[in-house]
Amino acid sequence: MIDVMPDEAKQSYRRFKRTMEVLTKDPEPEVGLTPKEVIWTRNKTKLYRYISDKPKKHSTPLLMVYALINKPYILDITKGSSLVEYLLDQGFDVYMLDWGTPGYEDRNMKLDDFILDYIPRAVKKVLRTSKSDSISMLGYCMGGTMTSIFASLHPELPIKNLVFMTSPFDFEDTGLYGSFLDDRFFDVDKVVETLGNVPPEMIDFGNKMLDPLSNFIGPYVTLYDRSENPKFVESWRLMQKWLQDGIPFPGEAYRQWIREFYQQNKLIKDELVIRGRKVDLSAISANVLNISGERDVIAMPHQVEALMNKISSKDKKYVCVPTGHVSVTFGPKAVSLTFPTIGDWLAERSN
């Protein structure tokens, strides 16, 4: 029957068949393939040191800090498209803080706990392990926002370089998020009291609602259109695995994140208080590279760039790359633009 179909129908059939195989039969892709060792743990959190046979060229170690949602292997998703692998190949000593998967017993954890109890210990462990007298830090998404708070509260620590990647700092204009999270309609207290930890499905649904047609239907239309391209299919499978691999957001930290950032915009106004200590971003004096994504709707460029007028750093650079929130670190533009931007900037400041 297929043999007598018109060529266009044959192609449609092949695409449909391959799409169904990808969705129902193909095994999950392997991720996070760069060798690593766990050098410190606390509760669910692990601190990794990545292992490489490439010689170390830079004496300043780099600690990566990810957000409290999804999993950090987006920074090491696959060979050839891994920021971790790229930086190791450039001769950096690379570490990563993996928050792990919180359980119901972690529902009372606040941002204060992560910023004041976890990150400082991880930084000190990296300094001891690397035998270095200074450190570089890279924060992605919410991880960068948390890193900025940490750095402002710890001017005594030898933080030499800070890299922020699509991290929001100003929440005055958050686009559709502002409508979704308006405190007149969104009762964050009721959400936390009902759920404890906020499930990843709820957060993923909210993100997708920023552009429902593209996010709910678009990936499958694109998969069908390009299902005969093995390289595209592999990238598609990797991205879908990561997007669906979310983790719960600890309830009290979520309450703070929504109320004090999205609803009250306290960070940029110098009104945020973490465990009794006022956060003043002007206390940051380290070298800063601040990266935004031109098409990012989760952390829009103006939200990211706002940091530049707050910090006291003399050496500071803002770069807006032609990517979205995730494609800043995964995909061809990440490899050709983001990775070298970070690597070259750090290389000049890590010895």
List the catalytic residue out of 58, 76, 141, 170.
141
Tell me the CA distances in angstroms from 275 to 105, 111, 149, one per residue in order.
21, 9, 12
Would you tell me how many other CB atoms lie within 10 Å of the CB of residue 308?
14
Q: In what order do the strands lie in the sheet with 36-42?
A: 36-42, 45-50, 94-98, 62-65, 135-140, 159-165, 287-293, 316-321
Catalytic one of 58, 113, 170, 325: 325
Whole-angstrom Cα distance, residue 218 to residue 325? 17
Instruction: Name beta bridge partners: 165.
Output: 140, 291
Question: Among this protein's residues, is 141 annotated catalytic?
Answer: yes
What is the DSSP code (8-state) at residue 187?
Answer: -
CA distance linking residue 223 with residue 304, whole number of Å: 31
* 296 is an active site residue: yes
Q: Do residues 278 and 151 lie in contact, with contact meaning Cβ atoms separated by under 8 Å?
A: no
Q: Catalytic residue, from 93, 296, 315, 344: name it.
A: 296
Catalytic residue positions?
A: 141, 296, 325
